[in-house]
Structure 1
Amino acid sequence: MCCYVKKITFCPLVNSKKINKHLSFEPIFVLFWDGGSMKAKFRKPIIILLLAFCTALFLSLSLMWAATPTPEKKEPAKPTAVAKPPDSAKKGEKFVIRGREYCYECIDNSDCLGCHSNKINERKFAQSVHGANSCNSCHWDITDVKTHTKTKGARIHAEPVTCHRCHKKEGAEHYASAHFINDIQCKDCHKDIHDMTPWKGEKKRVIEKCTTCHADDGFLESSHGKSVLAGNPDSPDCSDCHGLHKVPLLKGDEPKVVQFRKEFHTAVCLKCHDDKEMMERNKVFVVATQTYFESYHGKVEKLGYPSLVAGCADCHGYHSILPPSDPKSLISDARLVETCGKCHPRGNTNFVMWVAHATHNDPKRDPIFYWTFVIMTALLVSVFSMFWLHTVLWWRRDFWEKRELRAQGIFFPQHVKPDEAGHMYRRFSLFDIILHFTMMVTFIALVLTGLPLKFSHAPWAKGLMSFLGGAEMAGLVHRIAAGITFLYFGAALAYIFYFLFYKKLPGNPNPFQKLFGPDSLCPRWKDIEDIVGMIRWFLNKGPKPQFDRWTYWEKFDFLAVFWGMFAIGLSGLMLWFPEAFCIFLPGWILNIAHIIHSDEALLASGFIFTVHFFNTHFRPSKFPFDPVIFTGRLPKYELVEERPEQHKRLLAQKRLETYREKYPSAWTDLFSNVMGFAMLAIGLFCIFLIAWEFLG
């Protein structure tokens, strides 16, 4: 079985074996082959290459899987087994435990109170939550009052009281709590067990109970504590955050405990602060949670890596939460540098001007952020609208024109000699190829590692971030790719300087003439004429423009890199080194940088994976893939058809043959197709994720 694709396999104009021999090109992509489809000398190395590629891919995925830590499953602590009556035991029913016979609730309360009335108030017990029970319901192991009272040194509690026999839910929660781990039993909190009245949600009672062991840590003086004492039912007490019985273990420096503690604090804050009605009722900032999850801190927390960023409690505190106007508050002007300095030790007064809960949706509250977002949104909409319309119009015209020519058996310009149509000519230098390859790989890396952060709330974000090795690894890859981007941008600037001042061109033009000459990527008046001519061609109003070495859309792509390096690069550096930039800039500049970096990155990725992919690969005359950027060569018929002005100029200068190249080797073809289709697939995958988020 074989799939042996050729660009041209016959000439409909001249039926000649000699001519067809020249037009029978090498394969552009080999999937499988039989004995006659490829020269024998190429079979073995290509088989070895494919096997090596598959083996390397398998080993890479295996190592990535092996390097991903598997969370240890920690079984919850289990209570020590104790004897207890059957759950179904009824009053007067006898049962046997450990060879001894017992009778459930067979002893009257009056018999017990004859001795214990000095400690237990019969009236209060009757009015308590346990008043309907018999003493023998809990102290079931006492079967004979006479033996119990007359035996010297008798043990009243032969077996411990098992509260969870009746309170199953509370018991299960307690056995999974920090209290049980630290050997704190029911009786340690419920000391008034014999006269305990029903709990009706009294928050003050909870606080009083908890503070018998725990210092209040400033809770009673905090905003929450004062509100509880004032009788506000919405304000949290200890149990609203920590629970009544299933109290989580929060102390410890182990990584898992640290991560759980961060998740816990943020989760308990969200319980109330994510309730819009409750916040409005108490006149509290209603978009605190929304704005937090729009920040870098919140996005990383949302993706499942809270230990890497600041959560609610890291900035606001745990118990002593005070308003910013209070000098003792962690977020007061007097203490902000100290608070932020826990994570950003080089932060200064400029740095803390960063707005933690900024919103770009409220022009009254944050007008600068609002208008920055409006301008960036307008830029996105205008660029996509213009170029997507350009794409649709081009596809329509190109599709029908190519279809009509192929229906007539015309596969290349008729004025190209058939025996020369397959001659290869240099389009890109080795420097161009390396520069573009570096740009392509780093751009893909930046997009893949940035998408989960941009759309942290998307259903696919956590999975993609986990696949990339987690937020810390993704951040490292993102920064390495960004650093390489600055390096190749510097190389491009150096080449521009070389081109303008040192490179020799026919006619010895000066730097100004070079800048606006046909070999330059700088826009010139002819590009305006070409745009108008292209639109007329789209609408069947005129012929297709005659392009030179660079088209107007290629120049736009090139110049977009300069804008991208300014917008994305500068804003990215600010977010990478915030303390350094805040030595001389106010912190709210970082909020603006976040908006610009996020939206401009979306514009760049959306443009490259739709417009650029179409212009280069997906238009009907190129579909499905143009390998020229990998091989650096294009056939003569493409040079004549797509860049006739350059072809004429090279002929006039008698330089055409100096651009003549050999056909790419099988290795070059194989590498071009594997890498090219892989990059196209990743790009389309990214566009799918973006479309899912916007349309889903």
Structure 2
Amino acid sequence: MKKFLGLAAVFLCATFALSVRAGVDCTECHGEDGEPAINISVFQNSVHGDLSCTDCHVGADKDMDNHPDNLKKPSCTDCHEDVVESKQHSVHKDLSCTDCHGDIHTLDPDKPISGDADRIMAMCGKCHADSANAKGGKACPNLDLAKKLPPTHGILKHYRQSAHYLKKKKDGSAAATCTDCHGSHDIGGMTDPKSSIYKLNLSKTCGQCHEKIAAQYDRSVHGKAVQRGWDESPTCTCCHNSHLVLPTDSPEALTNKRRVSEKICLSCHEDQRLIQRYGLTGSIGSTYHDSYHSMANARKGSKAATCVDCHTTHNILKTNNPDSSVNPAHVAQTCGQCHKGATEKFALSYDHKSSLKSGNIINYYVRVSYIWLILMVIGGMILHNILTYFAAVIRSYRKRKDEKMITRMTKGQIIIHTVNFLAFFLLVVTGFSLRFSNIPLFHMLTIWLSEGARALIHRIAAVIMILVFGVHFVRIAMGRADRGAFLAMLPKLKDIRDFKENMRYIFLRTEKRPNFGKVTYVEKMEYLALIWGTLVMVLTGLILWFPTEFLHFLPAWAIKVAETIHFMEAILATLSIIFWHFFFIIAHPDAYPLDFTFLDGKMPVEEIKHARPDWYEELKEKGKID
């Protein structure tokens, strides 16, 4: 009972004090049931608890008849003049104090925003939320301003994964929060010279915690370049990121030892635009890639040197600087970190110039000599084997003259096959030359063609293939021989048995070969794949040829899908021809050195007897062979 009376006394005293200071009893309208309601006890314990209502709501007690229309908007300037002044020049000038700080009647002095990473993130996250959809959302107190915000989604997500946040959460040690880098009230944009995140000021901002590193950076070639106005010279955030600042031992960090050279250093030092604009050495990337260090690092060698092992991380100085780690006076010591007993002479053997003509002319001519030697020796071997192969082809063809032959393809079928193959070849060359123009093979094949000529040839070849496809089915409909050949290509249960028997033969489970007929399952699979592939390529090709017309009745995503299908089907068809069709007409033991059926349409009787016994028996029954 005493406790209850004590609490009641405190509440009454607080209410009395508030009403006395104000000259009126504000709680009559703004008590717990008022509008707006003020919790008096919470207010008395807030950071503003020693203020009266009229300290902020000036004149509220003077003219009660016109209250609240006579009220002026509360201003924080009277007490926080310097803060309000700095905010007027910040990117948040259109925000009110309460947009960030919340209800000033409830600010707890024991829970300040500053220094608490989670509270700061909650405050900044009202507008700078993780989700792109949250931009301008209800959480942001100033919707008009929020609509003008640049995309900032991912900032808080990245910060929560950063070394700064994780360190602070782990042991409460000092680590950067939003306000440590951006400031509290005087937050400027990246292009504002007074901003803490302006390029020239970044090292100073980061140097608040990383003082030694910032000093090293400021005197480095990168820091000096920024000071001279070279706006593309890297700063802290270029290498370490702005918000996703990961520890260097993190596998995802760009500054990780295994990634730093390729992902950070060479991203600039191999950029031809930067090399030309700033007169950088253009061979840094190629000479590094030519070194053991790069090759071992690519294989995740734990001891392989990267750029920062030799040039240091932040204190990167010109070679002629006496303090540089690669200055002649220190280079042996630098190499000695890994190579005990290294000398300056040793260092010269592994610098960026050692693989260049200007740095090692003897190595250059040895390399060039070997390139020519390889071309001549291996080229001679290839030429020798090509001649050997064609000699075998010629002898095999001459041998056919003395063999009894059976017609397998009519002249019409030979013509269709030949024209279709030539059209297919042109489509492959002109199609892949567009997609893989950087590959020397395709570049050389079309080096004499302009893009317009390439596209024209590709479309002409496509039209030819469509016509051949149409002629083929007209012949099937009208010609008995072609119709019979088509029906023979349709799958049968025997094909399954032949496949099983062939697998047993391939895996040496039997010495008896399958009793193949005139058409094997191999040829049926290829023929049906040809029909399907042609239909797919024609349909998707027409969509890509006439996209505006097709978009009258197709959705927008269909164009890209057609492009993907066209490309992938082209790869599938090309590889099928190389590894399936060519194998069975060239590399298969029964066909080597070449199956000539596609040239004259005939097949030796002995080959039929050996490779297609069922067809051989069928021919005997029909009296076509003895």
Q: Normalising by structure 1, what TM-score?
A: 0.39
Q: Which has the higher contact order (CA 8 A, sep 6+)?
A: 1
Q: Highest CA radius of gyration, 1 or 2?
A: 2
